[in-house]
Amino acid sequence: MAGNPTPRVRVPSQAKKGELIEVKTLISHEMESGQRKDASGNTIPRQIINKFTAAFNGKQVFQADWYTAISANPYQAFFYKAQESGEFKFVWNDDNGSEYTSTAKLNVA
């Protein structure tokens, strides 16, 4: 796989208490399906991001399990109701056990 997977997130830096915010995430990852063959005719092993989780102040608020049909550079968005200030932690796990993380702070007034 060329390059390291790169996570990116977009979270508003501020929100009002009770406001519904949209959280957008994307990770640059080639996502090999395991169904292609190399030049020698050997099957290229599956290598995909298979799980995404988001936590706010240590409590999980979103989870997605991804499978072979997920596209390269997967994008995931979800809504969150802001109640308090804190930090999001986003985690992507892939088939070889690698874990990629990113964080974002949210200030609630």
Of 102, 98, 84, which Cα lies nearest the Cα of 10?
Answer: 102
Asked if the structure places residue 85 within a domain, the reply is: yes
Asked if the structure places residue 41 within a domain, the reply is: no
Classify each residue of 52-70 as buried b or exposed e, where b means 16 or more C-beta atoms within 10 Å of its C-beta.
bbbbbeeeeebebebeeeb
Asked if the structure places residue 1 within a domain, the reply is: no
Asked if the structure places residue 74 within a domain, the reply is: yes
- The domain tally of the chain equals 1
The predicted pLDDT at position 36 comes to 86
Q: Residues near 32 by Cβ (< 8 Å), separated by ≥ 6? A: 1, 44, 45, 46, 47, 48
Q: What's the domain range around 70?
A: 6-36+46-108
Q: Cα angle vertex 85, ends 66, 26, to 5°?
A: 25
The predicted pLDDT at position 1 comes to 46
**Does the pLDDT value for residue 38 go beyond 80?**
yes
Q: Residues 11-26: pLDDT tens digits?
A: 999 999 999 999 999 9
Asked if the structure places residue 14 within a domain, the reply is: yes
Asked if the structure places residue 60 within a domain, the reply is: yes
* Model confidence, pTM: 0.89
